[in-house]
Amino acid sequence: MKVLVVGSGGREHSIIEKLSLSQEVEKIYAAPGNGGTQDKAVCLDIGDDQIDELLAFAVEHQIDWTIVGPEVPLNAGIVDAFEEAGLNIFGPRKDAALIEGSKDFAKSFMEKYRIPTAAYQTFTDAEQAKAYIENQGAPIVIKADGLAAGKGVVVAVDKQEAFAAVDRMLLDNQFGNAGSRIVVEQFLEGKEFSLMAFVDGENVYPMVPARDHKRAYDGDEGPNTGGMGAYAPIPELREHVVETAVRNILVPAAKGMVQEGRPFSGILYAGLIETDQGPQVIEFNARFGDPETQVVLPLLQNDLIQVIVDVKKGKDPQLAWEEAYCIGTVVASKGYPGSYEKGIQLPELKQEGKEECFVIHAGTKLDGARLRSSGGRVLLVGSKQREQHLAQSSVYKYLERFDRDEHFFYRKDIGF
């Protein structure tokens, strides 16, 4: 098969690495890819939002399957366009991708189908939002309704911080149209975890759960980011909690989307929190999570393209998972998730001795033979081992090469 992977981040690099292990895959293209994907894929000078150009390439080169990584092309209708041209593509159509594209839609959908989630209200008027916050108190959560690259969520510890977030989104247009409507919701106490599943219509095939670290700095301090690291599985997460999440959240969500006339096909990601009342939904995504994908896919024993083909045919892919732990820590540009400098040369990434790590590129580009930074999250360094502490020690031994470079930073407590 010839496979096209749409996207440029760590999630897409991880997908490409998994596809490269398949005997069914002859050639992989990445659009646009990054500085690390060229080892296993042909990188194209086509952006992930250039749907017409992607479609033309897929037709001309007789691409057998296209896999879409990011949320933006999904919400722009890339799957609709490819399917209408008779091409195989893995991901939800535009009307189903709305479960990620609009927080307001997702919350009202969960309310309708009694999927457990935090109490909320939606606002377009700043003063009304502040009056609601004044009445509810803090901590409280403010979310931009639309897509904001993982940065549109503020967990406000006091009312002043909440008011400031409202002003930035509704009055200052921090996120443009994505923040012209906001969701203000109850703060839930508990431990978060991510549960992804291959979904087609009412068929749901869950993956192993992972835990993502969202805050920028050690000890879960600092602003929310797109994710500073992850690990899977989660030793302290009880099996019955995962079973409850599948039964009460993933399955009803898949069935509800069918009933809404917008059946979901692709990866349904549930960002969950374990509360005293059971698992509840923080958010839904319509694609593989990032950085969770980088630690979940290495544990998958199945051929990824075969799983996708089976799921799309309505066949149980019989997912099998390695009995191991996988941990990944993100190396980010100094200043992320705020402003940061690009074009910084990376240190030598070749491994010495028995570090037993893998490196997934996210925000990198090749400048001749040199790798330079091109994004906020630059790399993820991961390790898969039989024991969790061995994976952790391997990752942090490898990351020492970044300690002398003031342009980058990473959390030192991923998986602890």
Last residue of a domain, one of 312, 345, 363: 312
Two tokens, residue 332: 């980010």
Last residue of a domain, which of 157, 186, 215?
186
Question: Are 128 and 67 in the same domain?
Answer: no
Average pLDDT, the chain: 95
Task: Give the pLDDT confidence of 74-97 residue by residue, as tens digits.
Answer: 999 999 999 999 999 999 999 999
108 belongs to a structural domain: no
- The string of pLDDT tens digits covering residues 35-76 is 999 999 999 999 999 999 999 999 999 999 999 999 999 999
Whether residues 329 and 383 share a domain: the answer is: yes
- Is it true that the peptide bond before 263 is cis, omega within 30 degrees of 0? no
User: In whole angstroms, how large is the CA radius of gyration of the chain?
Assistant: 21
Cβ atoms of residues 296 and 326 within 8 Å: yes
Average pLDDT over residues 226-245: 96
User: Where does the pLDDT of residue 355 fall: very low under 50, low under 70, confident under 90, or very high at 90 and above?
Assistant: low
Residue 109, in any domain of the structure: no
Specify whether the CB–CB gap between 99 and 257 falls below 8 A.
yes
Residue 287 located in a structural domain: yes
Question: For 338-351, what is the mean pLDDT?
Answer: 92
For range 12-23, the mean pLDDT: 98
113 found inside a domain: no
Check whether residue 55 and residue 158 sit in a common domain.
no
Q: Is the pLDDT of residue 415 over 80?
A: yes
Q: Would 236 be classed as within a structural domain? A: yes
Is the domain of 374 the same as that of 393?
Answer: yes
Q: Do residues 12 and 77 both lie within one domain?
A: yes
* 209 Cβ contact list (under 8 Å, min separation 6): 193, 194, 195, 232, 233, 234, 237, 242
Using CA atoms, how far apart are residues 284 and 256, in angstroms rounded to an integer? 13
DSSP 398: H
* Whether residue 308 sits in one domain with residue 209: yes
The verdict on 209 and 275 lying in the same domain is: yes
> What is the domain range of residue 66?
2-93
Nearest to 212 by CA among 198, 197, 226: 226
Report yes or no on 103 lying in a domain. no
- How many domains is the chain built from? 4
Whether 111 is in a domain gets the answer no
Which pLDDT score is estimated for 353? 61
The pLDDT of residue 152 is: 87
What is the rounded distance in angstroms from the CA atom of residue 45 to the CA atom of residue 413?
37
Q: How far apart are CA 83 and CA 330, in angstroms?
A: 35
Q: CATH no. for residue 134?
A: 3.30.1490.20
Residues 231 and 280 in one domain: yes
Same domain, 25 and 88: yes
Whether 237 is covered by a domain: the verdict is yes
CATH code assigned at 245 = 3.30.470.20
Q: Are residues 198 and 181 in the same domain?
A: no
Among the candidates 312, 337, 364, a domain finishes at 312
The pLDDT tens digits for 283-324 are: 999 999 999 999 999 999 999 999 999 999 999 999 999 999
Are 51 and 137 part of one and the same domain? no
358 and 264 within one domain: no
